[in-house]
Amino acid sequence: MKVYLVLLIGILSVSLSSILIKLTYDVPAIIISTYRLIISSTILLSWTKYKKIPLKTLNARDFFIAVLSGFFLSIHFISWIASIKYTSIASSVTLVSTSPVFVIIFSLLFFKEKPGIRTIIATTMAILGSAIIAYSDKDLMGSTTYPNPLFGDLLALIGAIAVSIYFMSGSHLRKYLTTFQYITLVYSFSALFTLIFAFFSSKPFFGYRPVSYMLMILMAIIPQLLGHTSFNWALKHIKADAVAIATLGEPIGASILAYLIFHQSVTLLQFVGMTIVLLSIAMAIKESTIIN
């Protein structure tokens, strides 16, 4: 029961993420990602030093996996945050939530797991639902509200692929690390990668609205430290695809908030596509079970 309560807290926390990103309209996506990860990792490292919490030494293989996990978390945030700049919150959050499907696909490709009929049907449905969302978003092209919806949809899918690898890597590392050790290590690597990408992007780090800096601090504390940490804690208790499915609550919460705050309504075709995607992911992980 405790694991489901933690996942609920995680869902409510991450649902605020897209809203805070949309409100930070004057800051480029890569700079938002950089501040979000640097602030969160700085808080974790400071707490580690204050409490004198030991960071477990990893062997070369696990260290590489931690670096890989941080890299893909960086890619996830950069691409997904950018997607919200181009398309609707409903489409972006729904498409980035297809990560469980990619977890299954990568498991089939790299671990040679034989796909069942439910997996095949679910994957097909996810592709169909994503295509319907993209088709519905093409009518938004040229909109002042959504500069390039199809490009935004593509970025959201890239974010889904990246976070699926992050989830799978985390599932392995959480066997050896505590939640705090894991997030401190991986968030720090992710912050480093994002800082490097931001440096080469030539985007300015300063000169934005004061409220935008406050919003980025909130992103680091609520969706990042509270939300994502809840998911990382759950990785030690349930399977990676089950954790990924928990994020299905985010599109619903984010879409409701987007309607209330930004008056972003969902078209009928968008709703059909979103429904198919969410049903496909629910079907794909239906057989996930508690492992601890």
pLDDT string in tens for the chain (292-residue length): 677 788 888 888 988 999 999 999 999 999 999 999 999 999 999 998 888 877 777 888 889 999 999 999 999 999 999 999 999 898 898 898 888 778 878 877 776 666 677 777 877 888 888 888 888 877 666 666 677 888 999 999 999 999 989 988 887 887 788 878 888 999 999 999 999 999 999 999 999 999 999 999 999 999 989 987 787 777 777 766 666 666 667 787 888 888 888 888 888 888 898 888 888 877 765 654 433 3
CA distance 89 to 215: 17
Q: Which residues make Cβ contacts (< 8 Å) with residue 253, sequence separation at least 6?
A: 11, 12, 15
Centroid of chain to Cα 8: 15
Cα–Cα distances (Å) from 130 to 29, 134, 151, 170, 285, in that order, read: 23, 6, 13, 26, 18
In whole angstroms, give the CA distance from residue 157 to residue 92. Answer: 8
Q: Is 271 part of any domain? A: yes
Query: Residue type for 139, please?
Result: D
Q: Which two tokens stand for residue 243?
A: 């954790």
> How far apart are alpha carbons 197 and 33 in whole angstroms?
10
| 43-46 long-range contacts, CB within 8 A, separation 24+ | 43/220, 43/221, 43/225, 44/180, 44/183, 44/184, 44/187, 44/188, 44/225, 45/184, 45/188
Domain count, the chain: 1
Residue 118's nearest CA partner among 94, 103, 106, 101 is: 101
Is residue 290 included in any domain, yes or no?
Answer: no
pLDDT of residue 123: 76
- Domain with 126, as residue range(s), is 2-284
pLDDT of residue 124: 82
Closest to 92 in 3D by CA, of 230, 244, 211, 250: 250
Q: How far is CA 50 from CA 32, 41, 127, 141, in A?
A: 27, 14, 47, 51
For residue 284, what pLDDT is reported? Answer: 66
Q: What is the pLDDT of residue 292?
A: 38
Give the span between the Cα atoms of 128 and 172, in whole angstroms.
31
The one-letter amino acid code at 83 reads: S
Task: Single out the residue of 169, 166, 132, 172 nearest to residue 277, CA to CA.
Answer: 132
Does residue 291 lie within any of the structural domains?
Answer: no
127 within a domain of the structure (yes/no): yes
What number of other Cβ atoms are within 10 A of residue 174's Cβ?
Answer: 20
Cα–Cα distance, 108 to 110 (Å, whole number):
6
For residue 6, the model assigns a pLDDT of 83
Please give the pLDDT value at position 113.
63
CA distances from 102 to 105, 149, 165, 276 (A): 5, 22, 8, 16
The closest of 268, 260, 240 to 89, measured between CA atoms, is: 260
pLDDT at 196: 97
Whether 174 is in a domain gets the answer yes
Residue 292 lies in a domain: no
Are residues 193 and 74 in contact, defined by beta-carbon separation less than 8 angstroms?
A: yes
Does any domain span residue 289? no
